[in-house]
């Protein structure tokens, strides 16, 4: 479950990278309003309520980066629901911090998860010269976290992580001022690639913008942009997990306005459907 949830989140962020290869169709506008950056989604799988997650993306205010350094501070939390929660009781939280320059530059990324069998934590610290430094910890059941000393199968070589960002930082970058997002309104067929490293797995997200259409979401018709996104494994995961990362595909439906908020993320083939259910004035809180 956690692999599909993270994959969908990563691919939803990919829209911002279309800006590198697509010309904007409208003039730049003001930054997206705060409510577009504090979001709550419900995850449905095979007709069953499977999970929910919240997302909070924050940047400090500053008129001039040279006078007042601008930083970002992002949080993500996911929890299984319904029968899936009864079966595995999975929860995940992630945070990313860094500098908001021309692009978001992560300084640290951390993700923690727990389920009925144990828990784990991964922390990535970004260094200017030597690339990301990764620390991994795990525990069985409620035991204390211990450093993982054995290298993962098919470990990613350091040079393969150059220029990558963590999933949450990439998502935050996609919801920066709308003048960067209007570039998603490119001619159908525009493609782009995002290099991502989550501390263990190195994969690319490849996307194709299919254009504008109508999408029925929560009993209403919505004017959306649709992007087809797929993961392409570069290295890292064990053999038995490659099926999750090799050519996993999703369609992301973005509101056709200046905010380009992901209204729904739907797996192509078997998999989850994630639907936006709340835009919060403050950090969203998951239901008890």
Angstrom CA distances, 234 to 10, 103, 124, stand at 15, 23, 19
Per-residue pLDDT at 113: 87
Q: What is the rounded average pLDDT of the residues 129-134?
A: 78
pLDDT tens digits, one per residue of 15-62: 333 222 232 333 333 344 444 478 899 988 888 898 899 988 877 755
Farthest-apart Cα atoms in the chain, separation: 55
Residue 196's nearest CA partner among 183, 184, 206, 208 is 206
In this structure, the dihedral spanned by the alpha carbons of residues 231, 235, 240 and 245, taken in order and rounded to 10 degrees, is -10
Q: DSSP letters of 199-266?
A: SS-EEEEEEEEEEEEEEEETTEEEEEEEEEEEEEEEE-S-GGGHHHHSS-EEEEEEESSTT--EEEEE
C-beta separation of 12 from 254 below 8 A: no
Q: Who has greater pLDDT, 228 or 185?
A: 228
What is the pTM for the complete model shown?
Answer: 0.79
Within 10 angstroms of residue 129's Cβ, the number of other Cβ atoms is 4
């Amino acid at each position: 479950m956690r692999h599909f949830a993270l994959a969908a989140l990563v691919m939803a962020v990919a829209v911002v990278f279309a800006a590198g290869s697509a010309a904007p169709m409208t003039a730049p506008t003001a930054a997206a309003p705060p409510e577009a950056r504090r979001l709550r989604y419900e995850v449905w799988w095979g007709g069953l309520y499977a999970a929910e997650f919240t997302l909070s993306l924050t940047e400090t205010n500053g008129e001039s980066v040279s006078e007042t350094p601008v930083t970002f501070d992002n949080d993500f939390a996911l929890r299984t629901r319904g029968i899936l929660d009864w079966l595995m009781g999975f929860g995940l939280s992630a945070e990313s911090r860094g500098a908001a320059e021309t692009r978001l530059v992560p300084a640290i990324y951390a993700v923690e998860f727990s389920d009925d069998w144990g828990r784990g934590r991964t922390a990535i610290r970004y260094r200017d010269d030597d690339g990301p430094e990764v620390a991994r910890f795990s525990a069985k059941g409620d035991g204390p976290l211990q450093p993982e000393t054995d290298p993962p199968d098919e470990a990613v070589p350091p040079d393969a992580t150059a220029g990558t960002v963590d999933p949450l930082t990439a998502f935050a970058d996609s919801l920066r001022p709308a003048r960067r997002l209007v570039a998603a309104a490119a001619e159908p067929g525009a493609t782009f690639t995002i290099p991502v490293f989550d501390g263990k797995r190195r994969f690319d997200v490849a996307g194709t913008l299919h254009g504008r259409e109508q999408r029925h979401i929560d009993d209403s018709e919505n004017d959306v942009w649709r992007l087809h996104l797929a993961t392409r494994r570069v290295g890292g995961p064990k053999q038995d997990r490659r099926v999750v990362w090799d050519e996993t595909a999703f369609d992301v439906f973005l509101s056709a306005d200046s905010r380009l908020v992901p209204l729904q993320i739907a797996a192509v083939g078997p998999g989850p459907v994630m639907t936006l259910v709340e835009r919060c004035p403050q950090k969203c809180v998951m239901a008890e």
